[in-house]
Structure formats: structure tokens, C-alpha cells
Structure 1
């Protein structure tokens, strides 16, 4: 049975969407991966664009409220922004909660700066996910 991972941020528009797409690409079929937000909006077009630069198509993704997942068991609940970490509810079972604080790339001002911020956050999430997967693989009993 696949392990289940839920990735949370505030709007479920950029950081958690990129993390969902990247984890699916990095881990293959190892996990069932979902993302949600505490105040969902829409998937940011720049998140879609910078993911496409790396060959990941997140256009089919939609922004979801975390209430869609309440009551469901997860093996890992990963928050990728501070406000989502503070608002993260308890999930049934033995979910391991992980918090990684990434800046909101949408907060950057200016078109070139905003695009650069999205690329930086994408790359930081990618590196953190790769390191996390390596940690899991190195754990006793992995």
C-alpha cells in the first residue's frame, strides 16, 4: 500500500502545488500525493510556467481546501509555509508532521523578480524533497 502525503500552504496556489508535482516526479509511485490550502485560491500561472520549464505539467491541478481531506489518514503532512503550519489540524492515524518554511514567491514585486522568485522556490522545494527522500531511504528498515 502506498504511503499518503498531504502538502499544505495558505492558498494552495504555488508552493504546495509545485511540491505536489515535484514529489510525484521524484518519488514515482511510492506515494499518493495531495495538496491543499487553508485559504485556497487558484493555481498561480507562474507556478505552472516554472514547473513546465522542468518538464512537469501541473496545469490539471486545482486549488483545494484542506477540509476536503479532514478525517482522512496520511502518513506525512508537510506544511510549506508558516501560516499553514499554525493552522494545520490534527489528522487521524500516525501522520508525521513536517514543516518547511519557503517564502511566498507571489509576494515578489516586478515581473522579472516574481519569475525569479518562483524559480528559486521551485528549486528549493525540489532540493528539500530530494533530501527528504534520501533521508527516508537511509532510515533503518527502509
Structure 2
């Protein structure tokens, strides 16, 4: 399985939401807006809308429409796994029409690929966004310390 742009955006949204709860935000509102995420993370607003819509259909995000609306985490940050976000944003590839030999090869590879994806998803389910945020904070503080010495 490869990381799609939608998955990258979804991961960025959840990370921003986790970080924004404590440090990045200048507003008192509990809601994070798409404009805020787009600006702060330098992400395309149009792609963000699609990703947030999909995540809002799950229990990962709660979306509130309207002028004073925005986005909230749908459940505790530590309970959101990387695998869960990736599954929500995975597009199922369309089957290709081809010659019978190619179809036979694809059919032969179906089971091994499914088993590999299952192991991959199990590994991603072990990674919480709380873990990622701590790694992110550690990396950021290391970069700040390194650049301040120069």
C-alpha cells in the first residue's frame, strides 16, 4: 500500500489538531477551521475540504457547519491510530481490463497482497497520533536548539 496525497493530508490534519489544542492557536474558539489548517500547514484548501469531509463521516473528526463552526477531534487524540486514518482515506483501485494472462497474474497476487496489507494495517494501528505528536515536538525542539547555536 502506498501513501496517497489524501492520506498525507489526513495525517497532517490530525497532527495539527493535536498540536493546535495546546500551542499553535491564537484563537479562543475550540473549533479549528479549514482556512486555519490550510494556512498553517500550507495545504490546498480544496483537497483539505475533501479529506475533512471523509474524516467527518467517521468518528475521527466532528465537523460543525456554519459561521462559527469548524472541526473538532471526534474522540480522544490518543485513541486515533495512523492505520484508522489511512483506511478512511484509502481509495479502492478500480479493476483494469486487460489480457487474460495479466488478469491471471493479478488474481494470483491478490492473496499475498491482501495478507501484506493486513500486516501493514496492523502495524499502522499500533501507532497513535499522541506518539506522533511527541516525536514531532522532540524533532522540532531539536531543530530549534540546533539552529539557535549557529
Pick the TM interval, shorter chain.
Answer: 0.3 to 0.5
Give the structure-1-normalised TM-score.
0.32
Q: Which has the higher strand share?
A: 1
Q: Determine which structure has more spread, i.e. the larger CA radius of gyration.
A: 2
Report the structure, 1 or 2, having the larger helix content: 2
TM, length-normalised to structure 2: 0.31
